[in-house]
């Protein structure tokens, strides 16, 4: 790290204000708002417009800084903030106190996007917001994590919707020097650059570094003047639609990112990749080990994968990143030679077995290079097991090696000042920094009056925000003849406010409310119990269906009998999301089941006292109870992956019924003092019980305790010599596998169950390399059974063939099927060896 952040300011600060640069370059101010008054005092217009402390310092006039340097009140405020920041840097943490010697090499976290603040536009949606919240929670808890990503010159598009309802996309340039980032410099103060070879040339990558409290974010940037013009554009935009450019980005992120860590002397204890986009980091980890040892590719893969965690967020196979095999050949054939690996062998890592003409699937590559895999909710684990089942032929879905950690949100980033005050009063100031036991205490100190006052203040602030944004939108496009409606002046600060904001795409069903316009109009026109709706969200530039849904809503909003009751806010981003999740009374989410991997947007309203009305999917299927919110089709069960719209009508009807019979009546059912007691009871139950469970604090602690720490320990158990041994065993198993077979099966009934014996012919294979099990699936009288069979007598006249026996619970014999799998317990089965043989 540079000696002083002040070196990178575009101006010299007065000595009395030198500490401002350090504060401005730590994105901790995005969730610890004590320093907001500093930036607002320096330049209120710039701060309110950008919420970028670094830009404020680089934009303000020298005269203003000189005046502030002589202002005792400002000096006192700065001193207070610097003291608080120093106290934060020196304070003990949950991780440091609990595991002071663990994860010495850090957790290396790879992701294509990071949503940390609206002033750092390196994200497109939920995946990026999750990554940002993960880093913030890791900082709060003191978990040693270093993240790797890309700096985008344009980032994701900015949205505008014209008077005809057409989405327009704009790509403003991101000047990295005006973002809260610094160049990463080495000991000689040289800007660190990393090289990645592409066909016929080497691409230089500049490195920027961002501070997120105790964590660091390393960002690679191809926009180096010494690169060819086409290579300068590799990091020009997030999620390019051009497959070749996407492949270049993923190579830069994975290979360049790992080389950067090595350049910095970092040997990660665990590598955590978010989505298959990042899988080349795991390949480069293998290549690096091959280059410093005499390990083969297979041995290096076996040695490294125990420390690799792959988190998948994809709910449909079509969402995987795929590349034509010709591109893989073109870009990786030379790279693979360093590992003595031919292209065809490598391609098999990204394809289904026996399908050499498949496109190369980056998530398949991630699966085959990782030691553990997880989805992001309980239902998503089952969805992912189906998606990845083709990689584990003949294995039951229950055995497909996908675990789950339900996502969470960084609550301090999303709570309003009013909510923060109530949480502080109820649970203390440091409630999100430990194990959260204290937040399970009911809000006994918070009265209904205070709870309702918080909600009213938040809703009033939302309406002010909406009016300001709508005024700007109307003045630009002249949306409708009713100026008051177009500018939000007809919005009611005391009316039930429903919010829907997310990516507009078909499976998320943003237009479910429009399937029955008469019922919707009746709700909107109820004079005594009014409903108003706030919408926001972007459609992918190539998603014509999503764009059509936006247009349909815009046309509906312009109707005379609707104007003023439904509004659409352009350019959904973190800033807009913050206003909405703090102000709306009910958050609506209507994806097709089971396509919602998790759905963290609804978690953000919890901390602010908003309630959820959501499809029974993702996190809400785990969280929902009648006393905390409403679920659409609460009896939905995961059955198959389908794009079918067969339940759309049923779900829409239930949504309207819930609104008409429960949501709206309960909001307006007030006592003589004007308090909706039943509604407040739901708010209280939701805040008390759900907020801690669906926080990033819980999520990151779960990753640490269930994954990072055990995976680090597992890595220590697999040095190079053990990796070689395991590879040799797997080769022997592969060689003998075609001739392994089962023989006679005998069963006798005993008083306490069944005595089962089975002859197994191993064709000369060492019996220690296999494991024989008796398997029965769940039935009406009991759960699933997987019973290990012990090896006993050798079979006469056969080479290394044996009788295996076990005692099994009493149930019909046809329920049980013997199977044979790899026997070495040091391997994570079937992830690391999918061999399986069933007795027919």
> Per the structure block, which two tokens stand in for 717?
């158990």
Whether the Cβ atoms of residue 272 and residue 107 lie closer than 8 Å to each other: yes
Element (H, E) at 281: helix 280-292
DSSP state of 759: E
Helix locations, 348-432, DSSP H:
362-369, 378-388, 411-414, 417-427
Domains in the chain and their CATH numbers?
5-90 (no CATH), 101-154+180-407 (3.40.50.2000), 412-694 (3.40.50.2000), 732-838 (2.60.40)
pLDDT of residue 33: 86
**pLDDT for the residue numbered 817:** 96
Q: What is the pLDDT of residue 639?
A: 62
Report field, pTM of the whole predicted structure over 0.85: yes
pLDDT score for 3: 43
624 Cβ neighbours under 8 A, 6+ residues apart: 612, 614, 616, 631, 634
Q: Tell me the C-alpha distance between 202 and 3, whole Å.
A: 31
Q: Which residue bears the tokens 């206003």?
A: 579
Q: Tokens 């290096």 identify what position?
A: 300
CA atoms within 13 A on the CB side of 617: 24
Nearest to 704 by CA among 143, 98, 267: 143
Euclidean distance between CA atoms 345 and 337, whole angstroms: 12
Q: Helix 126-141 vs helix 696-703: angle between axes, to the nearest 10 degrees? A: 80
Which ranges of 91-242 would DSSP assign to H, the alpha helix? 94-98, 126-141, 229-232
- Altogether, the residues listed in the chain come to a count of 840
* Per-residue confidence (pLDDT) for residue 551, from 0 to 100: 97
- Per DSSP, helices labelled H in 233-359 are 243-251, 257-263, 280-292, 297-304, 325-337, 343-347
Rounded Cα distance, 336 and 113, in Å: 27
Please report the pLDDT score of residue 12 as a whole number: 81
Among residues 561, 613, 570, the alpha carbon closest in space to that of 591 is found at: 613
Name residues whose C-beta falls within 8 Å of residue 558's C-beta, 6 or more positions apart in sequence.
Answer: 479, 480
pLDDT (tens digit per residue) in 775-787: 999 998 889 999 9
In angstroms, the CA 545 to CA 539 distance is 8
Residue 294's nearest CA partner among 730, 721, 725 is 721
625: its two tokens = 């109870």
pLDDT digits (tens, 9 = 90+) for 267-283: 999 999 999 999 999 99
Buried b (16+ CB within 10 A) or exposed e, 521-555: eebbeeeeebbbbbbbbbbbbebeebbbbbbebbe
Please give, one letter per residue, the 3-state secondary structure of 720-775.
Answer: HHHHHHHHHHHHHHHHHHHHCEEEEEEEEEECCEEEEEEEEECCCCCHHHEEEEEE
Mean pLDDT by 10 residues, the chain (840 residues): 51 86 94 91 94 93 94 95 94 95 96 95 93 97 97 90 93 91 92 96 96 97 95 92 94 98 96 97 97 94 98 87 96 94 96 94 98 97 96 96 98 94 86 71 84 97 94 69 78 96 93 96 95 96 94 94 92 94 97 92 96 96 97 80 74 97 98 96 95 95 98 96 97 96 94 93 94 94 94 89 95 94 96 96
Q: What gap in Å lies between CA 579 and CA 605, rounded to an integer? A: 10
**DSSP tag of 565:** T
Strands (E), 312-401: 322-323, 360-361, 372-375
Cα of first residue to Cα of last residue in the chain, in angstroms, is 62
């Amino acid at each position: 790290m540079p000696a002083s952040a002040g070196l990178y300011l575009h101006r010299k600060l007065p000595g009395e204000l030198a500490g401002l640069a350090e504060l401005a370059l730590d994105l901790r101010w995005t969730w610890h708002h004590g320093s907001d008054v500093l930036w607002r005092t320096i330049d209120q217009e710039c701060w309110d417009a950008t919420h970028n402390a670094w830009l404020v310092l680089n934009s303000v006039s020298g005269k203003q800084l000189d005046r502030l340097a002589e202002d005792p009140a400002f000096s006192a405020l700065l001193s207070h903030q610097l003291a608080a920041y120093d106290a934060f840097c020196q304070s003990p943490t949950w991780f440091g106190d609990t595991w002071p010697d663990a994860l010495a090499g850090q957790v290396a976290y790879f992701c294509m996007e990071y949503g940390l603040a609206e002033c750092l536009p390196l994200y497109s949606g939920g995946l990026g917001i999750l990554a940002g919240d993960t880093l913030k929670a890791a900082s709060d808890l003191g978990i040693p994590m270093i993240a790797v990503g890309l700096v985008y010159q344009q980032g994701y598009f900015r949205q505008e919707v014209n008077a005809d309802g057409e989405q327009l996309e704009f790509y403003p340039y991101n000047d990295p020097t005006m973002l809260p980032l610094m160049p990463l410099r080495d000991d000689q103060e040289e800007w660190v650059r990393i090289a990645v070879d592409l066909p016929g040339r080497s691409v230089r990558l500049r490195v920027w570094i961002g501070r997120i409290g105790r964590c660091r974010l390393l960002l690679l940037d191809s926009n180096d003047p010494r690169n060819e013009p086409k290579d300068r554009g590799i990091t020009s935009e997030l999620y390019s639609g051009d497959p070749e450019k996407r492949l270049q980005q993923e190579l830069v992120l994975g290979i360049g990112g790992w080389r950067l860590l090595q350049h910095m002397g970092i040997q990660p204890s665990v590598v955590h990749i978010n989505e298959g986009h990042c899988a080349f980091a795991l390949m480069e980890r293998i290549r690096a080990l091959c280059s410093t040892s005499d390990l083969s590719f297979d041995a290096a893969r076996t040695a490294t994968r125990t420390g690799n965690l792959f988190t998948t967020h994809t709910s449909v196979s079509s969402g995987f990143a795929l590349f034509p095999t010709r591109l893989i050949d073109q870009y990786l054939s030379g790279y693979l030679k360093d590992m003595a690996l031919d292209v065809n062998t490598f391609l098999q890592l990204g394809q289904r077995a026996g399908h050499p003409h498949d496109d190369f699937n980056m998530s398949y590559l991630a699966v085959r290079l990782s030691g553990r895999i997880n989805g992001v909710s309980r239902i998503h684990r089952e969805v992912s097991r189906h998606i990845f089942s083709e990689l584990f032929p003949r294995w039951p879905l229950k055995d497909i090696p996908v675990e789950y950690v339900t996502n969470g949100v960084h609550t301090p980033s999303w709570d309003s000042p009013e909510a923060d005050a109530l949480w502080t009063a109820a649970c203390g100031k440091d409630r999100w920094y430990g194990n959260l036991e204290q937040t399970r205490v009911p809000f006994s100190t918070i009265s209904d009056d205070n709870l309702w006052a918080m909600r009213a203040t938040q809703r009033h602030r939302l309406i002010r925000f909406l009016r300001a944004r709508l005024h700007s939108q109307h003045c630009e496009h002249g949306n409708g003849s009713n100026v008051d409606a177009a500018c939000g002046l007809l919005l009611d600060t005391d009316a039930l406010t429903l919010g829907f904001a997310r990516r507009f795409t078909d499976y998320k069903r943003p237009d479910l409310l429009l399937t029955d316009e008469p019922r919707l109009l009746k709700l909107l026109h109820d004079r005594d119990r009014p409903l108003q709706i706030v919408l926001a969200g972007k459609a992918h530039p190539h998603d014509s269906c999503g764009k059509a849904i936006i247009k349909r809503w815009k046309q509906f909003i312009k109707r005379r009998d609707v104007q003023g009751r439904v509004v659409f806010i352009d350019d959904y981003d973190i800033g807009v999301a913050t206003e909405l999740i703090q102000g709306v009374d009910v958050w609506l989410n209507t994806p097709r089941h089971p396509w919602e991997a998790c759905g963290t947007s609804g978690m953000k309203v919890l901390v602010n006292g908003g309630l959820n009305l959501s499809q029974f999917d993702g996190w809400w299927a785990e969280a929902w109870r009648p006393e905390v919110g409403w679920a659409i089709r609460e009896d939905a069960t995961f059955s198959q992956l389908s794009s079918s719209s067969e339940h759309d009508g049923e779900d829409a009807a239930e949504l309207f019924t819930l609104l008409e019979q429960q949501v709206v009546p309960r909001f307006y059912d007030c006592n003589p003092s004007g308090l909706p007691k039943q509604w407040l009871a739901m708010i209280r139950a939701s805040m008390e019980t759900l907020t801690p469970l669906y926080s990033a604090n819980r999520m990151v602690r779960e990753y640490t305790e269930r994954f990072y720490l055990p995976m680090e320990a597992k890595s220590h158990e697999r040095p190079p010599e053990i990796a070689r041994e395991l590879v040799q065993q797997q080769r022997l198993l592969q060689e003998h596998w075609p001739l392994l077979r089962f023989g006679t099966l005998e069963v006798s009934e005993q008083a306490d169950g069944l005595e089962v014996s089975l002859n197994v012919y191993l064709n000369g294979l060492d019996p220690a390399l296999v494991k024989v099990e008796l398997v029965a699936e769940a039935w009406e009288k009991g759960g699933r059974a997987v019973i290990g069979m012990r090896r006993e007598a050798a079979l006469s006249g056969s080479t290394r063939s044996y009788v295996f026996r076990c005692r099994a619970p009493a149930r019909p014999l046809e329920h049980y099927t013997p199977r044979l799998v790899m026997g070495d317990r040091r391997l994570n089965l079937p992830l690391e060896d999918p061999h399986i043989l069933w007795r027919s």
